[in-house]
Chain A
Amino acid sequence: MPKIKVKRSSTIVDMTAMTDVSFLLLTFFILTAKFRPATPVVIDMPTSASEIPVPDNMMVITVDKEGMIYFSVENPKVKVATLQNLKQRYSKTYPALEKLTDQQIANFINLPVYGYDISQLPEILNIPAADLGSLKDFSGVPIDSANNQLRDWIQSARWADRLDKQESGATDREDIRVAIKGDKTTNVQAVQEVIKILTEEPVNIHTFNLITSLEGPVSAEAAGTEPPAK
């Protein structure tokens, strides 16, 4: 009887196809991923069923758990112009603002959120750009009636937006929008305080947005992040 020969098959698995697939996926994820900007303020936003996307050109007024106010402008060009306009407004009260260097002003772009008194600004802008993302000691933008700096920030941002619109020639562009971003547990009175500033003279903004996360099981921002130490 002839021997039955066991056919020896190669144990080598061709990995090329798998590499192709995995790198295709990798490329896809890298290209579609948009890193969440490192925000020093952790905001766990409430959810809503709204389907309106977040406007592109906006200023964001953030109200954190303790009711502290932060201000930020999305567009970097408008952001710098806002600071320049605000500098003029406050240079009489704080002469130090007049001496802001171009480097300091450029550094302002790297500031993810602004939550300080205006007198602290030159000091904050001396901090190297790399460390700005991890700033912790916020005092919040003052909003009391005697010293309403938030109002001036809003006004400056609107002015800067109009200037940018003229310079870029996009006159039909929609005006800068105001968006309020609050934490779930923020006391509603803090938010109403902001709304009051917006709707009253001289700001007079009656349409604005509330930023919320999409109705879903878990908010990603809430997962495993500690609130900043006060």
Chain B
Amino acid sequence: MADIQTPEKGSHSKHGKGKVRSKKMSTRVDFTPMVDLAFLLISFFMLTTTLNKPVAMELNMPKKDEQVKTDVKESQVINLLLDKDDKIWYYEGQVVYDMKTTNYAADGVREVLYDKQKDVGRKHGNPEKMIVIIKMTEGASYKNMVDILDEMDITNTKIYAIQDIADLEVEAIANGGKLDIVPTPQ
């Protein structure tokens, strides 16, 4: 308890004769167990509360019937291929026969995108003209997809699209990012 019990001073008076005194009851209530309980409950609620609330990302997919042809220069485009084991292959324009790899670290794909933005800014006058095409291989995880979409948000990339991977790209990945045949641009 919060107090040290000391023997009552007037205890001997019980044995003596004389007036019967009504026993004085202390009005003090010991709050210690109540505090114990309260803190126990606080700990419980603090530990069970989920601190991180989920957030939502918004994803817009193009409509199939909207066949709007936009004039795209090859130098605006960067392709990102998400592979298994958190690996990203990327190539610019149509240079599928020469792919490079990067990762999801802050100095990985983000740097690649910033570099491309600068390049697009120089060539086309506006870095926002960069077009990112995201393609996912069979081994990629959902985390990779969210990470790359998050990266689009971080690098402030306005134009990006998720597309199905082409056979040629699968072949290039299997071949270590290189292709012997140089495809003719369409």
Contacts and interface: CB of A to CB of B under 8 A. Distances in A.
Interface in B1-43: 2-4, 28, 30-32, 34-35, 38-39, 41-42
22 contacts: A12-B2, A15-B2, A15-B34, A19-B38, A25-B42, A26-B42, A33-B45, A46-B147, A49-B150, A50-B55, A52-B58, A53-B53, A187-B138, A188-B145, A191-B142, A191-B145, A206-B63, A212-B55, A214-B52, A214-B53, A220-B50, A221-B50
A195 B61 CA distance: 9
Interface in A24-51: 25-26, 29-30, 32-36, 45-51
Interface secondary structure of B, over-half rule: mixed
B45 A18 contact: no
Nearest to A55: B56
A13 interface: yes
A15 B141 contact: no
A210 B59 contact: yes
B105 interface: no
B60 to A, nearest CB: 5
A188 B59 contact: no
Contacts of B49: 29, 32-34
Interface of B: 2-4, 28, 30-32, 34-35, 38-39, 41-42, 45-46, 48-64, 82, 136, 138-147, 149-150, 153-154, 162
Interface residues of A, number: 62
Q: Is the interface of A mostly helix, strand, loop or mixed?
A: mixed
Contacts, number: 167
Contacts of A191: 142, 145
Given A18-B35, A186-B142, A212-B56, 16 more contacts: A14-B31, A22-B35, A22-B42, A29-B42, A46-B142, A48-B55, A53-B56, A54-B55, A55-B56, A199-B61, A199-B64, A204-B63, A206-B62, A209-B58, A210-B59, A211-B55
Given A22-B35, A191-B142, A50 B57 contact: yes
Contacts of B141: 184-188
Interface in A46-96: 46-55, 63
A208 B139 CA distance: 24
A48 B142 contact: no
A64 B44 CA distance: 30
Nearest to A51: B55
A207 B58 CA distance: 7
Contact of A22 (B39, B55, B140, B149): B39
